[in-house]
Amino acid sequence: MRRSKTISSDSMNNPLLDTSSLPRFGDISPDHVLPAIEHVISTHRKHLDALLSKNADPSFDSLVVPVELMEHELGRVWSPVTHLQSVLGSPDWREAYKQALPLLTQHGTEISQNIRLQRAYTGVGKSLPADASESQRRVVDHALRDFHLAGVDLPESDKDRFKEIMQELAAVQASFEHKVQDAADAWSLHVLDENELAGIPKQAMERAAEDAAGKSLTGWLWSLDYPTYDSIMTHAHDRQLREKMYRAWTTRGSDQGDDPEWDNSENIETILALRHEVANLVGYRSFADYSLATKMASSTDEVLDFLHELAASTRGAAEKELSDLQEFAGMELRPWDVTFWLEKYKQAKFSVSNEDLRQYFPAGKVINGLFSLAAKLYNVELLEQTDVAVWHRDARYFSVKNSDDAIIGGFYTDIYARNGKRNGAWIDECIGRQDINGSAALPVGYLVCNFPPPDDSGLSLLTHDDVVTLFHEFGHMLHHLLTRIDLPSISGINGVPWDAVELPSQFMENFAWSYEVLRDCSAHSESGQALPRQLFDKLEQSRNAGAGLAMLRQLELAMFDFRLHAEYDPKQIVSSLEMLHAVRKEVSLLEHPDYNRLPHAFSHIFAGGYAAGYYSYKWAEVLAADAFSAFEEAGIFDPATAQRFRREILEVGGSRDIMQAYIAFRGRKPTIDALLRQNGIQAR
């Protein structure tokens, strides 16, 4: 990889400050975090002040480029910190993160509220030459928008309050996520009677037995990570066991959990109040309106109309699915029954079993097949580098080469669940692409999942749902890696509207439903045989089983999130649980128990970037399904279509209006028809 400039000679003493290459994971410790962040912020403050003092007539090159480089540099120093506190489960790393976060938040707010900087950007915008690139114009436009959203126009007293809110929000959102993780890590279920565990797959049983032995216990010890939860909810015959697991999962971080210390109730109230206040401060009626300022959707009505249209189109199919399932089960189903009986229904109707399918998907084989797919579509090569320092024995690093054999980026993988590691699957930026003013860096990312850990023989078997998840996250990674934009704030995923950022990921999921792709991603754990066509056909036939119920579930989450933020009124507060009840009354077909506390572990919206934006998954899924239909029409490996998708969508980052980019790829605007058809739902 090409080298970028280091911050100073201090980089040799503090490995976090060494931005000459990849993060030095073998050398970095929590003690390095606070000094590194303090050093970078102090240096950047002085540099910015000098820029504004000496730059009477700023240009793009004299002002915007140095600011871009500073933001890029700070991101490189901070990214290993945010990553390690998520994947290591270390109290020291968490504490270092918590100590540094207020400094980052304050610094970010200071910059975005700097009136001198805002005026300088305004001047640059007015003086851009006629031949200025679209990327340059977008960077300036985005910056001016963000200045406004950060309250740069406010009186000093309101600016100070904005800063206070940002500080408090950062702290409370971090607390929310940590409480969810702590509650999950502290919970376990010790089972002595093997009869209670009938139906649970061998891989999960072996892991639970190992965990019990590790605690000097007999029997099986069940934890609250997602692979364990999913395995029990899908396969355990014992209904009481399923409800125990369901209750533990849906009460994480709540007043219904095991320890009041991990109750997020107060955090939720504080987060909603602070978000509403900050939106009001800068002139928006609600946080939902404030959020839409950076999204494709133009208004709260447009979002709600979209969600209601999808719900209305889906409801009939979901009602029939639930009726068929309950008839098949011979009982009224509760939330802890649906996944189990849906699996039994698929086995009975389509002769397909998640556990049978799992035998064909060893994690290593799936990853190799996925990489081969990327090579076929986009003419790239992915190669493991074993000489790169990583943070855990399960982590790996891959470099990415273009067709001319030039390295264009790289990424780390960390795909197995372990105690202390944040649940879920995600990608994050390690290094963003930039190539300006003689300083260059190639994009590097983190790809993190929580799949079942390898057994004693080193084998981790994935469900097909796991395969879809891996394809999804790799779609994000390709978006990050294949960018051709050199300005960091709009390269890769940066600067892309949040309700479009899921387009490449959900688009990529579709390839996990292609036989030609799955054949290359599969090798039976015993025979080594690829997935038989006959078994794939059964899987494909079962694809839409439960699709309506799954769609309503996502719409329930999206409506809850959006209405919670759009309708918040400090004079007449509706609690998150009241709002959830109202949304479920409108959308859900299932009766949920009173102890269900979904909001209290909903980290996507209370600790992540999806606040008033969870609808983005469905919004982008419409784009993704419509985009994939172009591949279906031309042939899913059609080189011209793949290169057009790469050129018009994956490479442009935030340098172009996303709808214009989509039309350039597809030749028209998207419709919801492809998504409904993909889910076996008839358009109304």
- Residue numbers annotated as active site: 473
Q: Which phi and psi (to 5°) does residue 610 adopt?
A: -100, 15
163/142 Cα distance (integer angstroms) = 20
Could you tell me the two tokens for 288?
A: 């939902």
394/614 Cα distance (integer angstroms) = 31
CA angle in degrees (0–180, nearest 5) for 252-447-662 = 105
CA-nearest of 672, 630, 636, 229 to 465 is: 229
SS3 221: strand
Written as one letter, the residue type at 119 is R
Could you tell me the two tokens for 385?
A: 């580098």
Sign of CA dihedral 649, 652, 653, 658: negative
Q: Which residues of 199-230 are buried (b: 16+ CB within 10 A; e: fewer)?
A: bbbebbeebbeebbeeeeeebbbbbbbbbbbb
Written as one letter, the residue type at 653 is G
Could you tell me the two tokens for 51?
A: 């820029």
Distances in whole angstroms, Cα of residue 613 to Cα of each of 39, 292, 396, 560: 34, 8, 32, 11
The sheet carrying 426-431 orders its strands as 381-384, 396-401, 407-416, 444-451, 426-431
Query: Cβ atoms within 10 A of the Cβ of 98, count?
Result: 16
> In Å, how far from its chain's centre is CA 664?
26
Alpha-helical (H) ranges within 525-615 are: 533-541, 547-566, 576-587, 603-606
Distances in whole angstroms, Cα of residue 129 to Cα of each of 125, 260, 415, 483, 614: 9, 60, 47, 25, 39
CA-nearest of 553, 502, 508 to 310 is: 553
470/512 Cα distance (integer angstroms) = 9
Largest CA distance in the chain: 79
- Under a CB-based contact definition with an 8 Å cutoff, are residues 219 and 328 in contact? no
Sign of CA dihedral 449, 231, 341, 338: negative
Q: Which residues of 57-74 are buried (b: 16+ CB within 10 A; e: fewer)?
A: ebebeebbbbbbbbbbbb
Could you tell me the two tokens for 240?
A: 């009481």
Query: If 0-12 CB within 10 Å is exposed, 13-18 middle and 19+ buried, where does residue 468 land?
Result: middle
- Under a CB-based contact definition with an 8 Å cutoff, are residues 340 and 236 in contact? yes
Name the β-bridge partners of 412.
Answer: 397, 446
Q: Rg of the chain over CA atoms, in angstroms?
A: 25
CA-nearest of 569, 660, 681 to 618 is: 681
